[in-house]
């Protein structure tokens, strides 16, 4: 049970403040998951855990209320028409940020991009599908593809599909792409922005640059301008 997990997990960034514990218990009581298992990632703004559920393993992502850079979050979210009502209130921005990731994952799925299936969201906690074969799918930075050129081509296709849905990932890199059986899976969509954002094309170019930096190290001829044209045309 989550209540009994507090002592076992508090070492991971003290993520379990009283409010978050209540949120986790609400999700557990709704049957979204049964119990937390182990940490996958401990970051400055969010902690990610595996969890058991009645349908198998899921991922629980918890945004940390006291350490999130809500000013940075607001800079991304203030141009999003879905969140025009927001003011610079710390908790409301974090809750909107979490819900935004949930909604953006649905948009990406509708676009035909492989992403974790969103399962549930409540305040600062997001529950999504666990991407695994025999083990959790690794970040691309931790497992190079056997055929980097082919893998890059799939990444560009996904970027183009997002663009056609008027969405830019905004933080694409070897950290936010999983290598699942030699196929890319995009993750971490909280900062994904619509084309209404005046900096959307800047973020897209940054995504392309980051992707090219990674694949050039693997010997792939990665032309940023060419990819930008492929994504936007």
Query: How far, CA to CA in Å, does 131 sit from each of 26, 118, 185?
Result: 24, 12, 8
Distance of CA 185 to the CA centre of its chain: 10
Return d(Cα 23, Cα 127) in angstroms, integer: 12
Low-confidence ranges of the chain (pLDDT < 50): 1, 3, 12-13
Which of these is catalytic: 171, 207, 223, 225? 171
Strand partners, 122: 125
The predicted structure's pLDDT at residue 140? 97
C-alpha gyration radius of the chain:
18
Return d(Cα 21, Cα 19) in angstroms, integer: 5
**The tokens of 70 are what?**
């809500």
35 among known catalytic residues: no
The predicted structure's pLDDT at residue 167? 96
The predicted structure's pLDDT at residue 77? 80
171 among known catalytic residues: yes
- In this structure, the number of other CB atoms found within 10 A of the CB of residue 199 comes to 14
The predicted structure's pLDDT at residue 156? 98
pTM: predicted TM-score of the whole model, two decimal places = 0.90
The predicted structure's pLDDT at residue 143? 95
Nearest CA to 158 among 201, 97, 211, 203? 211
Note whether 32 and 14 are within 8 A (CB). Answer: no
Which of these is catalytic: 80, 142, 147, 188? 188
Q: Which long-range contacts (CB under 8 A, 24 or more apart) does 91-94 make?
A: 91/65, 94/63, 94/65, 94/68, 94/70, 94/124
Note whether 189 and 151 are within 8 A (CB). Answer: no
The predicted structure's pLDDT at residue 13? 46
The predicted structure's pLDDT at residue 33? 96
């Amino acid at each position: 049970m989550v209540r009994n997990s507090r002592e076992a997990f508090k070492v991971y960034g003290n993520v379990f403040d009283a409010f978050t514990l209540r949120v986790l218990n609400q999700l557990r009581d709704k049957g979204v998951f049964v119990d937390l298992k182990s940490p996958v990632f401990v970051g400055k703004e969010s902690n990610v855990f595996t969890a058991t559920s009645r349908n198998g393993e899921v991922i629980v992502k918890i945004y940390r209320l006291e350490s999130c850079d809500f000013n940075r979050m607001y800079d991304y979210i203030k141009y999003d028409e879905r969140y025009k009502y927001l003011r610079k209130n710390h908790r409301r921005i974090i809750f909107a940020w979490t819900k935004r990731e949930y909604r953006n994952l649905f948009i990406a799925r509708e676009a035909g991009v492989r992403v974790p299936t969103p399962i549930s969201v409540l305040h600062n906690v997001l529950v999504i599908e666990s991407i695994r074969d025999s083990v959790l799918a690794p970040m691309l930075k931790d497992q190079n593809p056997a055929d980097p050129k082919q893998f890059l081509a799939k990444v560009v296709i996904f970027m183009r599909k997002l663009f056609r849905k008027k969405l830019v990932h905004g933080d694409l890199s070897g950290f936010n792409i999983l290598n699942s059986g030699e196929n890319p899976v995009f993750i971490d969509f909280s900062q994904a922005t619509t084309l209404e954002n005046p900096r959307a094309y800047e973020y897209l170019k940054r995504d392309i640059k980051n992707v090219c930096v990674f694949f050039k190290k693997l010997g792939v001829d990665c032309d940023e301008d060419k990819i930008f044209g492929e994504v936007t045309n």
